[in-house]
Amino acid sequence: MKVRWLVAFLLTAFTGVTAAQQGQVPTTETALGSVRIPRSVKADGQDLKAGTYQVRLTAQAPTPAVPGQTMERWVEFVQGGKVVGREVVSIVPAGEMKDLMPGPDNHKGPGSGARVEMLKGNEYLRVWIARNGVNYLIHFPA
């Protein structure tokens, strides 16, 4: 009987830890994945050429802070081991996904994927990365 209770307790604890890890915004530097940007864009006012980049979330928040925008950080675009650009990313936790249209993981819960798309008459490029139930949106003027 004691063994059953112990097993039940351990399973409950493990399930709770796993659920807590899904959908939480990382607080440290984290690799978000790789994206292919199909055309040159402006990232933080600098040219970012078309190409494939590793996207890395930093721990640094943009300054000055935008009122009402607390879920923003910088991402770096890495190519050949060197940071070649950076831009502000808007972070959308899983709990707020109902307010957005389906993303790269097709809104099927925690998942991973990336989508790059042109918006508003080809004036803006959006990179949408979903990773572990958290969505990262990066917008560039084209």
Mean pLDDT computed over 94-120: 70
* Nearest residue to 133 via CA among 112, 106, 107, 110: 110
CA 35, 39, 40 angle in degrees (round to 5)?
A: 105
d(CA 96, CA 93): 6
Beta-carbon count within 10 A of 16 CB: 10
pLDDT value of position 125: 96
Separation of CA 19 from chain center: 18
Q: What digits encode the pLDDT tens for the residues 2-60?
A: 444 444 444 444 433 333 344 677 888 999 999 999 999 999 999 999 999 999 999 99
pLDDT value of position 115: 92
Q: What are the residue ranges of helices labelled H in the chain?
A: 2-21
pLDDT value of position 19: 36
Beta-carbon count within 10 A of 47 CB: 10
Q: Confidence band (pLDDT; 50, 70, 90) for 111?
A: low
pLDDT value of position 60: 92
- Of 27-36, 52-61, 65-74, 100-109, the poorest mean pLDDT is in 100-109
101 pLDDT exceeds 70?
no
Helix (H) or strand (E) run with residue 117 in it: strand 113-119
